[in-house]
Amino acid sequence: MTAEGLTAAPLAIARPLSWIVVGAFLAAALLERRDEDRARAVAVGAWLLFGLFWLVLVPHFVLEQKSIVEGIGSILAAPLSVYAGYRLWNGRDSLFVLTRAVGIMGLIYLPFAYVPFLEANPARRFLVETVAAQTHFLLNVIGVDPEMVRGVEYFSRDRGVDYTYRSTFVFPGNARPITYTIIVACTGIGSMAILAGAILAVRAPFRRKLRALAVSIPVIYGLNLVRNVFIATAFGQQRMQWFPGLLTSLFGTTDEQMVSYYIADRLLAQFGSVIALVAITWLVVRELPEVVTPIEDLLYLLTGSEYDLEGALGSSTVRADGGEE
């Protein structure tokens, strides 16, 4: 198999598999209240499939995307998913919350990311083009004015459905024009789905869930626009051409114009997004302390140690309303 085939094949497998995985997680969540034993079996199967899903995507994130964060994340997620299934099978019932959370995350994310038999996904198009238009507006505010076009007008080969939208910024460049395209991964929908899934999965008064969503989703959306503006400016105006020899070797490219992109996006923005997500999660915990349960389970899966985050934060810190509703 060629290198191009090796990086294209994972998506052909992962996309349909993603719906099967999410369906299994949601089925386990529905069964949990009526038949815990059957729910446990279905949930364990879902976690095993989830591990396979991440294993399939490793070549895509490592070889195609050249993403350190996503590459390490997919490599870790595969065995951790299997371990989660093992721990759930052996009686760690708190993992049912994380099971529900993953199912809800997928239900929110997949309609934007992948809908079988529907390439002209209206929800995806609306989200991508809205984020692109808002990014373009903010670029103009700071005095940066790239041309915004449909990506297919500049690329000779098919790069995916996102490039058919009006979401590609064109800068003059050096050797040739520089293009930066807003794709679905640049909209923040992934991070929003993660937090929304965790919030909606816990058993708590709906009013507090709404408050938690209100303090997290707008912040994620706004920070994501700032992220897009930062990457577009740094890459389009070639502001981070640092250590070109080292960076081109590290990311396996001969195109020195890509150096600013790899520094701005693959290094600074992606690691910054992880830090921002942790900070926003802390805000969510203040409104909805029940969210610490899936967080504690994640930490347990990663480290093998038990954590009492609510105790560490203190009840006066994690409960913003001072009592039950």
- Residue 136 and residue 169 in contact, taking contact as beta carbons nearer than 8 Å: yes
Q: Which of 100, 124, 208, 227 is catalytic?
A: 227
Q: What is the distance between the alpha carbons of residues 168 and 159, in angstroms, rounded to a whole number?
A: 12
Which has the closest alpha carbon to 210: 222, 192, 196? Answer: 196
CB burial of 131-157 (b: ≥16 within 10 Å; e: otherwise) equals: bbebbbebbeeeebebebeebeeeeee
Residue 184 near residue 113, CB atoms below 8 Å: yes
Q: Which residues contact 176 (CB under 8 A, 6 or more apart)?
A: 257
Q: How many Cβ atoms from other residues are within 10 Å of residue 119's Cβ? A: 10
Q: Which two tokens stand for residue 45?
A: 């199967």
Q: One of 186, 208, 266, 319 is an active-site residue; which one?
A: 186
Indicate if 15 belongs to the active site.
no
Burial of 24 (0-12, 13-18, 19+ CB in 10 A): buried
The verdict on whether 227 is a catalytic residue reads yes
How far is 20 from 50, CA to CA, in rounded Å?
Answer: 9
Q: With CA atoms as reference, report the closest residue to 226 among 190, 171, 186, 189.
A: 186
Longest pairwise C-alpha distance within the chain: 64
Strands (E), 172-260: 178-181
Supply the residues annotated as catalytic. Answer: 186, 227
